[in-house]
Structure 1
Amino acid sequence: MGEQVKGANYTRAHRQEYRRKVQLCLDVFETMLAQSSFEFDRPLTGMEIECNLVDDGYQPAMTNTDVLASIADPAYQTELGAYNIEFNVPPRPLPGQSALELENEVRTSLNAAEEKATRGGTHIVMIGILPTLMPEHLDHNWMSDSARYRVLNDSIFTARGEDILIDIDGPERLSMYAETIAPESACTSMQLHLQVSPSGFADNWNAAQVLAGPQLAVGANSPYFFGHQLWAETRIELFAQSTDTRPDELKAQGVRPRVWFGERWITSIFDLFEENVRYFPSLLPEISDEDPVAELAAGRTPTLPELRLHNGTVYRWNRPVYDVVNGRPHLRVENRVLPAGPTVIDMMANSAFYYGVLRTLSEEDRPIWTKMSFAAAEENFHTAARHGMDARLYWPGLGSVTADELVLRALLPMAHEGLRRRGVAAEVRDRYLGVIEGRAKTGRTGAGWQVATVGALQERGLTRPQALAEMLRLYCERMHSNEPVHTWDGPARA
């Protein structure tokens, strides 16, 4: 979730100075977009994978401090929950067979981490929401030892002035109040990064927004929370509700939520940063010593720390990123739509599908976002989160179609073409897009497999908690096989 914070108690004067610095950073950023040279000649892709920790009984293990100490690899870091860790995959270019090398490296690293974690009785699970997580697990000692998380929790509840209502419909509706942001820690995702040029950012972001619904439909992996079967990708609605700083009165006034799909197509990355500054008050008003105006005047690249920190507390599903590496600034689209898991090959397939379709959509002569409303893209997103592969989605030229028809008829050809344009080898395209094709043809995603397996186990007489734990055990076995989820079988017959 980003860098640490130093302060815990912020005065009004402090917040006022932070507001001034954020606006100053925004002004400098606007100047840089017009004048500076951004790194994009050799665009890189990146991946972050958030994971859960469980014990030998497949219950949440609040042991990330010990696990990270045993892994002893800076690529692995804490996340919000003490039962979460994050794996940061080094950036790399897409062309050729680099994806096959990446798949092998990710598997090797995760297997090594699992082996070290297992020595302490802990296992690593890649899944959108840990299905065995129950309210009692989040009563106390659930948060990672980090000042940032404590301050973030306090800031959200100070802004709200009341407990958070978690109310999610579905086959088994869940309604409860939370007195901390603990439910947010249940949401574990895979984040995909793509480095782009300033002039190409808007087209790539708009295309990513269009693609968000189909991504969810074909990648859903979060059907359970607190023992309830909810949405195919419950993580989307749970994350939105568990970080909502708005009491009901502000919602009624139309105040924007911090977990935000957005409300319009854009023409520049500046549109998004400017909206973030205009609409959202600070949650972590840390002030740096950097004078961005002086840095730019001296010919150096400002890091714009206040603007970047503020941007990190506005949770867009496709987030704009400004960063500086080796003195050169660059821009990225951070795609935050997908859940973690089920396997490394499934996540590689999800990323290949995203990068391929994105390339084709962003380069069309008449962009698809000129043929559909922004509201239609948002509706697709929420419909796909609810129903997964059973969703019906709107697509220009096709109208309302089933998710499998959209993927097979329209999006997979785009994905193949986009990856070809990116220079990705044919065998790589066939391997990963074949997984997406298999999911579309069978209708089986991680979410679908979880629900079917729990249902079969309960028919045998297991209680819901027992069925969830046994399902997770079977899930972990298959996760380690690296066979794609659409090929998984259910529990063995008694």
Structure 2
Amino acid sequence: MGEEVKRAAYNRAHRRQYRRKVQLCLDVFETMLAQSSFEFDRPLTGMEIECNLVDSEYRPAMANQPVLAAIADPAYQTELGAYNIELNVPPRPLAGHTVLELEADVRASLNAAEAKANTNGTHIVMIGILPTLMPGHLTEGWMSESTRYAALNDSIFSARGEDIQIDISGPEPLSLHSASIAPESACTSVQLHLQVPPGVFAHNWNAAQVLAGPQLALGANSPYFFGHQLWAETRIELFTQATDTRPNELKAQGVRPRVWFGERWITSIFDLFEENVRYFPSLLPEVSDEDPVAELAAGRTPQLAELRLHNGTVYRWNRPVYDVVDGRPHLRVENRVLPAGPTVVDMLANSVFYYGVLRVLSEDDRPLWTKMSFTAAHANFLNAARHGIAARMHWPGVGEVTTDELVLRHLLPMADEGLRRWDVAVEARDRFLGVIEGRAKTGRNGAVWQVSTVRSLQEAGMTRPAALAEMLRRYCENMHTNEPVHVWDLAE
């Protein structure tokens, strides 16, 4: 959920002080990159899984407080919506059979949480956007109890000065206005973390940006919002619009959105933090008591609280992270591209594929991004969000290519080689990359299964709301089998 804040409202003095403090933190961070030793004993990966809560009719259940009390596990936390929770998976290395063990651990954790949620008549669902969510669910009582969320909502609307406009194209276009950031709560994702040393951060971030399009095309799982069929991964455009601090006039001037793919390849992690400070005004100007200059001079690791808080309110799809654990600083690439679900094995297949391809792309002597424009990478990302696994993308040396051809002929061999370099066991590579291969060959990911099932149910005579609820019931049934989505039966 991000760091909690102390106050829900801020004045001009808070903002002036915060701006000075953020700049000071940025200067100290630049010094640390040049002088300090960052933690990197071994590469660690981490995962956060955002989930939805539904009732017995598969409608949103605004019940995260009693559900979290029943689960009673600090790994589970609130998210923006009262119908959301998040599972934080402890970091671990990739080598050996770790990913297979991770699959068993995550399944056991989620099954235990589901059993405890059931005592409140609630079920946990891993999906990019809850298809049964409707406008009436987001009128009141939708937000989790948190000073941070209330302050964020107020700051975004103070910056805009008007309601948020949601306008999304697709087979059934949707246009509406929202008087809160409630639509953002519909977007639930899987976030993948990779701890890297400063010297190779830029190569890993650039590689992640290159991979974002194919990654999203394979994993799309959010075709419905408010009953409308929109993009294959509607979450991308919905999240962009639901947190937009810009009225139309600032959009016309080219002011950057807070949900941002970026605009250039980088040479250092500092580029990203510096852009965040230069381009984006504060949303949560909370000032700490730390003097980062004094901390660094005393040989201690500064927390850089203001810089980290500011970074947490600029929503890059691949976000830079500075963190301090046990007094030692480290850096991470946080990949925020993928939706949640459909199953644990699907999510881990997505993550293993990502880490494998990333390793090869980032270590290439002539990196792919030197042969590809940043604009092309961004266009691939948007095409993947719109069309999912049916998307066509531009790829250096290949030209325009279908997702299945790109994955099967080019990226899967890279992923296998990258995982070999990570020392991932053959059994783990075969299991999870086999899921990606099956998905590419069948052309069926979560979005395709959802749309096909709803269409079949409606052709059999169901209304759209009833078809969405029945589809979600079947989705949950399949989710608990942990069979990958490409082998799920379609509605008859």
TM-score scaled by length of structure 1? 0.99
Instruction: Specify the alignment match of 1:245 in structure 2.
Output: 245
- 1:201-238 C-alpha deviation (Å, 9 max, x unpaired): 00000000000000010000000000000000000000
Instruction: Specify the alignment match of 1:105 in structure 2.
Output: 105
Q: Which amino acid aligns with 2:33?
A: L
Q: Which amino acid aligns with 2:91?
A: P
Once residues 57 and 371 of structure 1 are traced to their aligned partners in structure 2, the CA distance between those partners, rounded to angstroms, is 51
Q: Which amino acid aligns with 1:337?
A: V
Once residues 192 and 413 of structure 1 are traced to their aligned partners in structure 2, the CA distance between those partners, rounded to angstroms, is 21
Instruction: Specify the alignment match of 1:310 in structure 2.
Output: 310
Instruction: Specify the alignment match of 2:465 in structure 1.
Output: 465
Instruction: Specify the alignment match of 1:151 in structure 2.
Output: 151
Once residues 385 and 112 of structure 2 are traced to their aligned partners in structure 1, the CA distance between those partners, rounded to angstroms, is 33
2:334 partner SS: strand
1:81-480 pair list within 5 angstroms: 81-480=81-480
TM-score scaled by length of structure 2? 1.00
Deviation at 1:14, TM superposition (A): 1.3
- 1:311-348 C-alpha deviation (Å, 9 max, x unpaired): 00000000000000011100000000000000000000
Once residues 452 and 356 of structure 2 are traced to their aligned partners in structure 1, the CA distance between those partners, rounded to angstroms, is 31
Deviation at 1:8, TM superposition (A): 1.8
Once residues 427 and 278 of structure 1 are traced to their aligned partners in structure 2, the CA distance between those partners, rounded to angstroms, is 47
Once residues 385 and 319 of structure 2 are traced to their aligned partners in structure 1, the CA distance between those partners, rounded to angstroms, is 18
Once residues 399 and 409 of structure 2 are traced to their aligned partners in structure 1, the CA distance between those partners, rounded to angstroms, is 13
Once residues 113 and 15 of structure 2 are traced to their aligned partners in structure 1, the CA distance between those partners, rounded to angstroms, is 41
Once residues 317 and 181 of structure 2 are traced to their aligned partners in structure 1, the CA distance between those partners, rounded to angstroms, is 19
Once residues 418 and 269 of structure 2 are traced to their aligned partners in structure 1, the CA distance between those partners, rounded to angstroms, is 22
Once residues 132 and 23 of structure 1 are traced to their aligned partners in structure 2, the CA distance between those partners, rounded to angstroms, is 44
Once residues 343 and 154 of structure 2 are traced to their aligned partners in structure 1, the CA distance between those partners, rounded to angstroms, is 35
Once residues 213 and 459 of structure 1 are traced to their aligned partners in structure 2, the CA distance between those partners, rounded to angstroms, is 33
State the identity %. 81
Deviation at 1:128, TM superposition (A): 0.1
RMSD, aligned α-carbons = 0.5
- 1:445-475 C-alpha deviation (Å, 9 max, x unpaired): 0000000000000011000000000000000
Deviation at 1:41, TM superposition (A): 2.4
- 1:128-155 C-alpha deviation (Å, 9 max, x unpaired): 0000000000011000010100000000
Deviation at 1:9, TM superposition (A): 2.2
- 1:109-136 C-alpha deviation (Å, 9 max, x unpaired): 0000000000110000000000000000
Once residues 353 and 108 of structure 1 are traced to their aligned partners in structure 2, the CA distance between those partners, rounded to angstroms, is 23
1:221 partner SS: coil
1:192 partner SS: strand
Deviation at 1:429, TM superposition (A): 0.4
Instruction: Specify the alignment match of 2:489 in structure 1.
Output: 489
Deviation at 1:490, TM superposition (A): 1.7
Q: How many residues were matched structurally?
A: 492
Q: Which amino acid aligns with 2:456?
A: A
2:393 partner SS: strand
2:212 partner SS: helix
Once residues 147 and 8 of structure 1 are traced to their aligned partners in structure 2, the CA distance between those partners, rounded to angstroms, is 6
Deviation at 1:19, TM superposition (A): 0.4
1:332 partner SS: strand
Once residues 384 and 70 of structure 1 are traced to their aligned partners in structure 2, the CA distance between those partners, rounded to angstroms, is 38
Once residues 23 and 319 of structure 2 are traced to their aligned partners in structure 1, the CA distance between those partners, rounded to angstroms, is 19
